[in-house]
Homo-oligomer: A and B are copies of this chain.
Amino acid sequence: MAQRLIVIGGDAAGMAAASQARRRRDRADLEIVAFERGHYTSYSACGIPYWISGLVPEPEALIARDPDTFRGKFQIDVRIRHEVTAIDLDRREVVARDLEGGREVRERFDELVYAAGAVPVKPAFARTDVGGVFGMQTLDDGAALRDWLESEPKPRRAVVVGGGYIGVELAEALILRGLSVTLVEQADQPMATVDGDMAELVADAMTGIGIHIRTGLGVTGLEERDGRISAVVTAEGPIPADVVVLGLGVRPNTELAKAAGLPLGPTGAIRVDRRMRVPDLPGVWAAGDCVECLHLVSGMPVHVPLGTHANKQGRVAGINIGGGYATFTGVIGTAVTKVCDLEVGRTGLREKDAVAAGFEFVSVVAESTNRAGYYPGARTMTVKLIAERPRGRLLGAQIVGWSEAAKRIDALAVAVWNGMTVDEMTSLDLGYAPPYAPVWDPVLIAARKAVDALISSAR
C-alpha cells in the first residue's frame, strides 16, 4: 500500500516539499494530499505590493503554480479552502474542514509536512473589523484592499501602520496610486531591518516622494464613521484616513502545531533540524514561515519569514521525504528592498544584533558611487560594514543606493557566509568597468575603512 504524505499549507514551503517528494516517489509509492486554507497555491506574497500599485496588472501573475497544475502534472491532491483544525500524532491523522461546504474530513498520514506559514501581528487596539482597514498577507487581503481603493467614495488619505518591509512597500504602492500617505511607526525609525544611520537615508527618500513619516508614535485605536474608517488615533491626536493598512509584521502560525505537541523554540517558531525534521517526532517535518532556523553568524535561532527560505526549506524537506539527502544549514539575514528608486540591502548582523550576540566590533560607513564618477547616471551609494574586533571578521553589511545597489549586497553576503575578514576583503577581485563601478569598488573602499577602524580601535 502506498504511504501517505499530508501537507498543511499550500504555499511556497508546502508545495515545494510536495513537488520534491513527488519527483522522487511516484503515486504508487506515495500519495500526497495538500490542504490550503485560501484560494491559491504557491503565490508570491512578496509581489502583492506591486499588484496594489498597479505595476503588476493581474494577481494571476503572482501565482507560480495553480492547484490544477499540482493535481495534473504532479498528481498531488490539492484541496484549497480546506483548513486543518487538528493534528493527531498518535493516530497519525489530521482533521480538516472544508471552508466552503463545512464538511469535516479525517485523513491519515505516514509523513506530515507542517507549512502553515505566518499570520499578521495584531495591533494592540481591540477592533480592526472596520471598513477600510486591511492586513496584508494573502492574495485575498490584496484583493480586498484593491476593491476598497477602487470603490466610491474613492479613498484619498492612507495611513500605513508599521514601517517594516511590507509597510514601506505598501506606502510606496499607495503613493503611486495617487493617495496621500502617512506611515506611522512605533520605533524611532522606519526600516528597523537596517541600522538607524542607514534608515535615515531610507526615510529621506520616502519623504522625498511625499510619504509623511511619523516615528516614535503608536496607533492606539481607530475612528470610524458610518462603518468606514475615518482616522487612526495616536498620542499626538488623530490622523485622518480613508484607508488603513496594517503592516506590523508576522508571527509564526503555530497554534495547531502547539496543540499537537510540536516543539517551539525560543523565537516562538517550530524547531526543526537541518533536514527540516521536527525533533523526536519521526515522520513529522516543518518548513517555511512557521519554523525557526539557525543564524550562521550569531549562532542563535531566528525567525525569518521570507519566500526564498520557505522555498529552500520546503525543497529540503521534500528531498528528504523522497529518500534523498538535503540540509538547510541556516541563514545570514540577507534581504533587499526597493523604496521607489532607492535600493536597500542588508546581510548578517546589524549593530544591535552584534551587541545582543556579544560581539565586540567596529562599524564604518563609506560613501561612494555605483558607477565611475564621470559615467552618466553615477549616484551615491553608501556601504556600512560591521567587523568583529580584533580579527576583523565581517559580521554584517548594509547598502543604500540609488540604482544597481541592492543586489551588490550578495557579494557581501557571500563574504559573511565564508567568514571573511575585512582585511582579506580589501584584496577581493570584484568587477570593474566605468558603467558599473569606480576603480575602487564601494565594497573595497568600505573594507579599507573598516581595516583602518580596527587598527585605531586596537590602539
Cβ B436 vs Cβ A375 within 8 A = no
Chain B residues whose CB sits within 8 angstroms of the CB of A336 once the complex forms: 431-433, 436-437
Cβ A407 vs Cβ B404 within 8 A = yes
Cβ A429 vs Cβ B417 within 8 A = yes
CB distance from A60 to the nearest CB of B (A): 9
Cβ A432 vs Cβ B307 within 8 A = yes
A112 to B400, CA, bound (A): 41
Given contacts A44-B374, A50-B435, 17 further A-B contacts (CB under 8 A): A44-B372, A46-B434, A64-B439, A309-B429, A327-B427, A328-B427, A329-B427, A335-B431, A335-B432, A335-B433, A347-B429, A404-B404, A404-B407, A406-B436, A408-B410, A410-B431, A414-B428
- Count of residues in A whose CB is under 8 Å from the partner chain: 64
Cβ A413 vs Cβ B435 within 8 A = no
- Contacts known (A307-B439, A429-B347); A47 close to B434, Cβ less than 8 A: yes
Chain B residues whose CB sits within 8 angstroms of the CB of A343 once the complex forms: 436
CB distance from A138 to the nearest CB of B (A): 16
The reply on A453 being an interface residue by CB < 8 A is: no
Chain B residues whose CB sits within 8 angstroms of the CB of A332 once the complex forms: 429
Cβ A374 vs Cβ B439 within 8 A = no
Cβ A434 vs Cβ B44 within 8 A = yes
- Contacts known (A407-B407, A436-B407); A374 close to B431, Cβ less than 8 A: no
B-contacting residues of A (Cβ < 8 Å)? 12, 44, 46-47, 50, 55-56, 61-62, 64, 296, 306-309, 311-312, 327-329, 331-338, 343, 345, 347, 372-376, 404, 406-411, 413-415, 417-418, 420, 427-437, 439-441, 443
Chain B residues whose CB sits within 8 angstroms of the CB of A435 once the complex forms: 50, 338, 406
Chain B residues whose CB sits within 8 angstroms of the CB of A372 once the complex forms: 44, 46-47
CB distance from A172 to the nearest CB of B (A): 11
Chain B residues whose CB sits within 8 angstroms of the CB of A296 once the complex forms: 429
The residue among A374, A429, A443 with the most chain B CB atoms within 10 A of its own CB is A429
Cβ A413 vs Cβ B428 within 8 A = yes
A334 to B433, CA, bound (A): 11
Among B47, B375, B404, B409, contact of A56 (Cβ-Cβ < 8 Å):
B375
- This chain: how many copies in the complex? 2
CB distance from A205 to the nearest CB of B (A): 15
- Contacts known (A375-B56, A414-B418, A439-B307); A407 close to B429, Cβ less than 8 A: no
Chain B residues whose CB sits within 8 angstroms of the CB of A443 once the complex forms: 410
A39 to B419, CA, bound (A): 45
Chain B residues whose CB sits within 8 angstroms of the CB of A334 once the complex forms: 429-432
Chain B residues whose CB sits within 8 angstroms of the CB of A47 once the complex forms: 372, 374-375, 434
Cβ B50 vs Cβ A434 within 8 A = yes
Question: Sorted from nearest, which 7 A-B pairs have the closest CB atoms?
Answer: A336-B431, A410-B411, A61-B374, A308-B432, A414-B414, A418-B418, A334-B429
- Contacts known (A50-B375, A418-B420, A430-B410); A439 close to B331, Cβ less than 8 A: no
A44 to B415, CA, bound (A): 28
Chain B residues whose CB sits within 8 angstroms of the CB of A347 once the complex forms: 429, 431
CB distance from A377 to the nearest CB of B (A): 10
Q: Please, which residue of chain B has its CB at the minimum distance from the CB of A312?
A: B427
The contact sample of 6 A-B pairs, CB cut-off 8 A, is: A47-B434, A55-B376, A308-B429, A331-B429, A332-B429, A414-B428
Chain B residues whose CB sits within 8 angstroms of the CB of A376 once the complex forms: 55-56
A145 to B50, CA, bound (A): 47
Cβ B374 vs Cβ A437 within 8 A = no
CB distance from A402 to the nearest CB of B (A): 13
A55 to B435, CA, bound (A): 11
Chain B residues whose CB sits within 8 angstroms of the CB of A431 once the complex forms: 334-336, 345, 347, 406-407, 409-410, 413
